Amino acid sequence: MLRILLLLTSVLLSSAVHADYQFGFANTYFDYLSWKQGTQGYNGIDVSEDRDDHVTWGIEAGVTFDWGEAYGFMEAEKLDKSADVRSQAFKVSAHYRVADNWTVYGQVYDYSESGGYVDEQNRLLGLGYLGIASKTFWFKPFLGFHHVTSPFNDPFGDNISGFNGGMLGWNLGGFFSIGSADFMYTNWNEFEFARNDEYANYQNGDTGLNGAIALWYDLSKHVYVGVQYRYFSNKLGVDDYGDAIIWRIGAHF
């Protein structure tokens, strides 16, 4: 799986050299995450002490070419906490057109904590579609095979790494106005299914849900604010449903 994703990345980079640029953006931001629910971890373990509100700094960028599009972010989390409990995350994803609006879709998400409590990388390879879009709306679904790598074990001592079923997801968004104010809304969503037994034990079920709904507003040409409703189920160490609110202030490059 990793070799395939590396091959896909090299193809994307080589294609970009000869591609027609269409659109791009880059932002930096600070988030304040406020937990609202989801204090119960697997096997009924209370994880509320590990779910304190915290501050995150991040950068993100996206680009669209005629061959497709790519997106990525990097985040340093819990900056207001001691160094031994801070965490880091990055994600890269890409759609590569293979037949009109049908794409080969791949993504890599990596998360680790400084204290060594969590260290996990998720990889996905499958098909996507870019054909549902207008000037004010887009919906970009994907479906793929899921693979996970981690040194951690499930509650029974078995390692969770390996093929981990499938993932169905999407990225959607759009624009609307209230009076003279222009807003943007977005939603990313990932539904994991047919997990391996070890990962299912680790994350409380054969299926999992992960995503966020957000509203964005530009205060000026360079400064923007946003609020996200972050939701998850049988994910992030939470048994059943959990959620949080994320407040953001950021700057466009």
Compute the average pLDDT of residues 178-192: 96
pLDDT per residue over 52-75, tens digit each?
A: 789 999 999 999 999 999 999 999
Q: Is pLDDT larger for residue 17 or for residue 80?
A: 80
Q: In this predicted structure, what is the pLDDT of residue 47? A: 62
Percent of the chain's residues with pLDDT above 70: 87
pLDDT per residue over 115-144, tens digit each?
A: 777 899 999 999 999 999 999 999 999 999
22 closest CA partner among 56, 55, 75, 67: 67
Residues 6 or more apart whose Cβ sits within 8 Å of residue 134: none
Residues 6 or more apart whose Cβ sits within 8 Å of residue 101: 129, 130, 131
Residues 6 or more apart whose Cβ sits within 8 Å of residue 165: 145, 146, 192, 193, 194, 195, 196, 206
Q: In this predicted structure, what is the pLDDT of residue 168? A: 98
